[in-house]
């Protein structure tokens, strides 16, 4: 049993029978008793993807409901990343942690260790109800309607190993938001729940049919107000409709948003209404708590253990080296950060928490990569300064809650010693990136290479962050948008072009994406820029914003408002590339050393 604060408990999400069946099926596959397709369908259910590399190479996705991770679970993740992956894990935009370059037998061992800590990978991939995400500030945010975390957890537990959860036409994503600002990006989910109150009662505005990829759609309101007690019944009804009517033949059009379009919104709503009546007749599933009095998160009780010394943290992080293929994180411990560094950190990474003395601290994680040592250090720091937990965010960062305001300088000093004391959370240096062609079978470009280059460029030119501190950047290696680049003020989507007989990596530049309380906005295509010139494109975009913004206008609002023709004009010179102007660097993708190739493979998302 894991305790959060003083009142909320989260029993294990793992089930040892999952591992037993995984070992049995892996043995059968290796003996040739089941086909590769049968093994693939099974391992996807258990959160294990094939990578683009040939052979026994997998990505294992842990399922971390609402992004909540305890100190003990961080230690388990540290162990499995070191022993069976590359010595680091990657935070996804769905609040999970992914391990890459894992063998089949390595996955078996990793899943066993994770299950001991209460972590499952069940239904983290495949045509399933995926990880149910939630606002990382839920429960402690100033001004939130109410904390949606207990309700999101209830949905998680209801559908984990549910008969329908792994038998859907396509993946199904659910998110919860309790704040006025959509931190969880619930508006791009198949099913989004927004906390509402009506006549003193708790409930949710229910939106359906959101998504990104090649057809970005903002979710539409299905129910203005569903009482909190109806939560599981409403969710079950929507999933039943998708299970029954979703397209199982056409992989390119079998998400819920396509079913909504096919039936028409009124037709879809009618189907849900009928399904809901059936659910209620059968006996609507109740929440495991009083809908009006859910478990509440409280401050940590008792004495907190003393934190490790900065020098010990630095030695630990420097003593553990990531290994293997691809771009590897290279933490730069800074045991004695300057006063200016602390001041900037306080401005960008610390926000008020409801309830007086405590604050929320965001740990900026470059590319979402945490080494094994950093995961273990975060476990220690969560015990010493927070409530023994962290929350992973959709922007690939980490949030510590219940931090005493007067202890932030000591915490930041220790984060810096772990190479995690960077400022700029949510700004242009805090680049969000998917794994890209380093491991993904669908990716066209090495998005992590561009993500690292952009971060380095902004850090080396601090005026960019000063001029546009709220400019958010996201990079995806293909149109599917695992970095949610469609929602960024400036998003980059991997692509390729032919220049003569040569293939050149490039990026679509999208501007004006974002989230409001009402809907999602999707970036507009402004240019197609060779990969090696994207940093120059960023310089021009910031210069355009600085020169033409209105008083008090932030960068996201500016790029939503500015005429697309004006952005195209600012970037036009960077698009042009001819055989005569082609340089050797243009033919090598960022983060790579060999000539660019557009090799892609069949993806497994819709298998």
- pLDDT of res. 137: 97
Tokens found for residue 395: 């922007």
- pLDDT of res. 269: 98
5 vs 78, which has greater pLDDT?
A: 78
Where do we find the tokens 């909320």? 8
* pLDDT digits 0-9 by tens, 167-200: 999 999 999 999 999 999 999 999 999 999 999 9
Cβ contacts of residue 274 below 8 Å, gap of 6+?
none
* b/e 380-410 (16+ beta carbons within 10 angstroms → b): bbbbbbbbbbbbbbbbbbbbbbbbeeebbee
Distance in angstroms (rounded) separating the CA atoms of residues 414 and 498: 48
* pLDDT digits 0-9 by tens, 118-137: 999 999 999 999 999 999 99
Instruction: Clarify whether residues 439 and 564 are in a common domain.
Output: yes
239 pLDDT above the threshold of 60: yes
1 vs 305, which has greater pLDDT?
A: 305
Whether 275 maps to a domain, the answer reads: yes
Query: 161 in helix, strand or coil?
Result: coil
What sign does the dihedral 583-584-585-587 (CA atoms) show? positive
Contact criterion met (CB below 8 Å) for 607 and 126: yes
Instruction: Clarify whether residues 521 and 569 are in a common domain.
Output: yes
Q: How far is CA 128 from the centre of its chain?
A: 17
Name the domain boundary from 116, 131, 166. Answer: 116
Instruction: Clarify whether residues 443 and 568 are in a common domain.
Output: yes
Distance in angstroms (rounded) separating the CA atoms of residues 511 and 489: 5
Whether 524 maps to a domain, the answer reads: yes
* pLDDT digits 0-9 by tens, 435-485: 999 999 889 999 999 999 999 999 999 999 999 999 999 999 999 989 999
Tokens found for residue 553: 């206008």
**Beta-strand runs (E) in 463-540:** 473-476, 490-499, 502-511, 514-515, 520-521, 524-530
Q: State the average pLDDT over residues 518-540.
A: 97
User: First-to-last CA distance in the chain?
Assistant: 35
Contact criterion met (CB below 8 Å) for 405 and 386: no
Distance in angstroms (rounded) separating the CA atoms of residues 158 and 148: 16
Whether 364 maps to a domain, the answer reads: no
Instruction: Clarify whether residues 535 and 459 are in a common domain.
Output: yes
3-state secondary structure labels for all residues of 74-89: HHHHHHHHHHHCCCEE
Q: State the average pLDDT over residues 237-241.
A: 98
Q: Phi and psi for 519 in degrees, rounded to 5? A: -165, 170
Whether 401 maps to a domain, the answer reads: no
Whether 478 maps to a domain, the answer reads: yes
Q: How far is CA 339 from the centre of its chain?
A: 32
The Cα-based distances of 5 to 118, 289, 297, 389 in angstroms read 18, 18, 6, 9
| Range name among 146-150, 258-262, 299-303, 390-394 with the lowest pLDDT average | 299-303
What's the pLDDT band for 605 if we cut at 50, 70, 90? low
- pLDDT of res. 1: 30
Cβ contacts of residue 157 below 8 Å, gap of 6+?
13, 288
Q: State the average pLDDT over residues 66-80.
A: 98
- pLDDT of res. 51: 93
Q: State the average pLDDT over residues 402-424.
A: 97
Instruction: Clarify whether residues 150 and 277 are in a common domain.
Output: yes
Q: State the average pLDDT over residues 85-107.
A: 96
Contact criterion met (CB below 8 Å) for 230 and 260: no
Whether 421 maps to a domain, the answer reads: no
98 pLDDT above the threshold of 80: yes
Nearest to 278 by CA among 245, 225, 233, 228: 233
Q: State the average pLDDT over residues 24-38.
A: 93
73 vs 41, which has greater pLDDT?
A: 73
Name the domain boundary from 70, 100, 116. Answer: 116
Q: How many domains does the chain have?
A: 3
Cβ contacts of residue 543 below 8 Å, gap of 6+?
570
Instruction: Clarify whether residues 110 and 151 are in a common domain.
Output: no
Contact criterion met (CB below 8 Å) for 451 and 407: no
Instruction: Clarify whether residues 97 and 233 are in a common domain.
Output: no
CATH value at residue 48: 3.90.480.20
Whether 356 maps to a domain, the answer reads: no
Cβ contacts of residue 267 below 8 Å, gap of 6+?
none
Across the chain, what does the average pLDDT equal? 94
- pLDDT of res. 3: 37
Type and span of the H or E element at 175: strand 174-177
Cβ contacts of residue 39 below 8 Å, gap of 6+?
25, 26, 29
Whether 496 maps to a domain, the answer reads: yes
- pLDDT of res. 6: 40
Name the domain boundary from 262, 283, 304. Answer: 283
Nearest to 365 by CA among 336, 398, 389: 398
Distance in angstroms (rounded) separating the CA atoms of residues 66 and 73: 14
CATH value at residue 206: 3.30.413.10
Instruction: Clarify whether residues 451 and 565 are in a common domain.
Output: yes
Give percent of the chain above pLDDT 70. Answer: 97
Domain assignment of residue 451, given as a range: 432-587
Instruction: Clarify whether residues 59 and 196 are in a common domain.
Output: no
Instruction: Clarify whether residues 56 and 171 are in a common domain.
Output: no
Q: What angle do CA 260, 521, 508 make, to 5 degrees?
A: 105
Distance in angstroms (rounded) separating the CA atoms of residues 370 and 364: 10
Q: State the average pLDDT over residues 524-528.
A: 98
Alpha helices in 126-263 (DSSP H): 149-159, 231-245, 256-263
Cβ contacts of residue 278 below 8 Å, gap of 6+?
237, 240
Q: How far is CA 358 from the centre of its chain?
A: 26
Classify residue 28 as exposed, middle or buried by CB count within 10 Å of its CB (0-12, 13-18, 19+): middle
Instruction: Clarify whether residues 170 and 87 are in a common domain.
Output: no
Instruction: Clarify whether residues 9 and 105 are in a common domain.
Output: yes
What's the pLDDT band for 252 if we cut at 50, 70, 90? confident
Q: State the average pLDDT over residues 325-338.
A: 92
- pLDDT of res. 355: 77
CA Rg, the chain, in Å?
23
- pLDDT of res. 597: 87
Half-sphere exposure of 547 (CA within 13 A, CB side): 9
């Amino acid at each position: 049993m894991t305790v959060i604060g003083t009142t909320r408990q989260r029993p294990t999400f793992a089930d040892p029978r999952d591992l037993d069946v995984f070992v049995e099926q892996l043995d059968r596959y290796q003996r040739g008793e089941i086909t590769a397709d049968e093994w693939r369908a099974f391992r996807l259910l258990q959160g294990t993807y094939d990578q683009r590399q040939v052979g026994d190479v997998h990505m294992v996705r842990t399922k971390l409901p609402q992004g909540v991770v305890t100190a003990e679970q961080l230690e388990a993740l540290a162990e499995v990343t070191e022993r069976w992956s590359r010595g680091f894990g990657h935070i996804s935009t769905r609040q999970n942690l992914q391990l890459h370059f894992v063998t089949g037998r390595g996955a078996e061992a990793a899943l066993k260790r994770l299950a001991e800590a209460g972590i499952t990978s069940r239904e983290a991939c495949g045509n399933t109800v995926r990880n149910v995400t939630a606002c990382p500030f839920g429960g402690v945010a100033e001004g939130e309607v109410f904390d949606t975390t207990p309700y999101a957890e209830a949905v998680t537990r209801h559908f984990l190993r549910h008969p329908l959860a792994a038998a859907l036409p396509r993946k199904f994503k659910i998110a919860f938001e309790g704040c006025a600002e959509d931190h969880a990006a619930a508006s791009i989910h198949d099913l989004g729940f927004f906390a509402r109150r009506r006549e003193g009662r708790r409930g949710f505005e229910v939106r359906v049919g959101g998504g990104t990829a090649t057809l970005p759609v903002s979710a539409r309101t299905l129910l203005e107000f569903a009482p909190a007690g109806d939560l599981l019944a409403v969710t079950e009804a929507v999933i039943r409709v998708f299970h029954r009517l979703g397209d199982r033949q056409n992989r390119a059009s079998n998400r819920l948003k396509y079913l909504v379009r096919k039936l028409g919104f009124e037709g879809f709503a009618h189907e849900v209404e009928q399904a809901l009546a059936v659910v209620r007749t059968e006996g609507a599933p109740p929440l495991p708590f009083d809908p009006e009095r859910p478990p509440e998160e409280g401050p940590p009780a008792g004495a907190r253990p003393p934190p490790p010394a900065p020098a010990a943290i630095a030695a630990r992080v420097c003593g553990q080296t990531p290994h293997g293929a691809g771009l590897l994180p290279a933490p730069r411990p800074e045991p004695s950060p300057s006063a200016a560094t602390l001041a900037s950190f306080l401005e960008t990474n610390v926000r008020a928490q409801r309830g007086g003395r405590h604050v929320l601290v965001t740990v900026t994680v470059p590319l979402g990569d945490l080494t094994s040592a950093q995961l273990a250090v975060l476990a220690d720091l969560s015990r010493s300064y927070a409530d023994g937990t962290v929350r992973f965010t959709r922007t690939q960062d980490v949030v510590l809650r219940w931090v005493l305001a007067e202890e932030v300088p000591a915490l930041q000093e220790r984060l810096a010693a772990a190479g995690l004391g960077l400022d700029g959370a949510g700004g242009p240096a805090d680049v969000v990136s998917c794994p890209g062609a380093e491991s993904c079978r669908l990716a066209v470009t090495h998005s992590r290479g561009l993500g690292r280059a952009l971060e380095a460029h902004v850090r080396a030119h601090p005026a960019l962050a000063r001029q546009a501190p709220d400019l958010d950047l996201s990079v995806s290696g293909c149109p599917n948008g695992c970095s949610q680049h469609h929602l960024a003020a400036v998003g980059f989507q991997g692509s390729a072009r032919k220049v003569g007989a040569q293939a050149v990596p490039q990026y679509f530049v999208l501007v004006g994406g974002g989230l409001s309380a009402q809907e999602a906005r999707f970036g507009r295509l402004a240019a197609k820029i060779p990969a090696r010139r994207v940093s120059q494109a960023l310089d021009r975009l910031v210069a355009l914003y600085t020169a033409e913004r209105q008083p008090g206008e932030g960068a996201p609002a500016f790029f939503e408002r500015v005429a697309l023709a004006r952005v195209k004009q600012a970037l036009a010179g960077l698009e042009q590339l001819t055989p005569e102007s082609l340089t050797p660097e243009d033919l090598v993708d960022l983060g790579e050393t060999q000539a660019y190739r557009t090799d892609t493979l069949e993806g497994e998302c819709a298998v």
